[in-house]
Amino acid sequence: MPKSFPNFKVLKYFNMAVLKYFLFAVILLFPISIHATTTTTVNLPVPYTSEIPNGRWIKPWNNACEEATIIMVEQFYAGNTSTKFSRARATKLMSPLFPIERKLFGTDADSDAAQNAKIINDYTSFSAYIIDDPTIEQIQNELSAGRPVISFHYGYDLHNPNIPWRRGGSYYHVMALVGFDEARQEFIVNDPGNDKSGLDYHYKYAIITSSLHDLNIKTHKANGPARVLFTAPKLVKLAGSPRVYYLQYGKKHIVANPQVFKNHKWQWGWLRTVSKDWLDQIPLSETIIKN
């Protein structure tokens, strides 16, 4: 064999050494990438109230998880940066919803996802629409985009010892999902039924998804479909632009003129300025609101 020909034995050990260093580098670097992904956390600053702002489990407050959740999300979109409502403020904001529910549904007790969506879309400054069988990723995407999610549960399956369930009741419960912690595999929740520690309470993903059940209003049982409400501010615009959009059912509709506000009894105070990136995520509807 010519002397100039490579020594295969030397090459073999050289290549093995290179391979070991390469694998060692991969082992060092790869966990960093995994760690960066699994520690992704979102926690929206949604102000909190329990459903019993007076501190007593009496009617109508003992069934007011829906009303409490609605005002939490509405105040977030209104720019309320407080961590918690005062008891007086929460009482003032929740109280007008009870007579509306009695007028529309004949009761101010439990209401299902469709009824809550109607209350939100017709009587508040934000919008909501129903999503059936939501995935964890879908919910995470909404939260990452800055939009709280309203969730409906067979509450007993939440296994929260701080919620005083009434024996023989429907165990129906409504909460605001405000964030998630990917490393811990948990959703961060404003739980109005947990008067002790409901602000930013953590539930495992599996607990939230397995307990998702809308109310069956015919049987008054929390055994309906897995269901949530995706939410958004009702009226938005870009900074420096006169164009106003109305958000409904996950789409943005151009508002043709200021008269539309008067026709729909919308308030100019509901109008929120959003970023172009945020607005671009929402599909544009072909329907223009003209009257």
Q: Give pLDDT tens digits for 30-88.
A: 332 222 334 499 999 999 999 999 999 999 999 999 999 999 999 999 999 899 999 99
- Look at residues 138, 129, 69 and name the one whose alpha carbon lies nearest to residue 97: 69
Residues 68, 31: Cα–Cα separation, whole Å:
42
Residue 94: both structure tokens together: 């929740």
CB of 289 closer than 8 Å to CB of 266: no
Residue type, 15: N
Residues 287, 104: Cα–Cα separation, whole Å:
28
- Could you give the residue ranges of the DSSP H alpha helices within the chain? 8-38, 65-77, 87-94, 97-105, 113-123, 136-144, 205-211, 259-264, 276-280
Q: How far apart are the first and last CA of the chain?
A: 93
pLDDT of residue 251: 95
Residue 8 has pLDDT above 90, yes or no: no
177-232 confidence digits (pLDDT tens) = 999 999 999 999 999 999 999 999 999 999 999 999 999 999 999 999 999 999 99
Residue 277 has pLDDT above 90, yes or no: yes
pLDDT of residue 255: 97
Domain parsing of the chain, residue ranges = 41-232, 234-280
pLDDT interval class at 96 (50, 70, 90): very high
pLDDT of residue 15: 45
Residues 148, 142: Cα–Cα separation, whole Å:
7
Q: Which CATH class is domain 41-232?
A: alpha beta
Stated pTM of the model: 0.84
pLDDT of residue 262: 93
Mean pLDDT of the chain: 88
E strands, 219-290, in order: 227-233, 235-238, 244-248, 251-255, 271-274
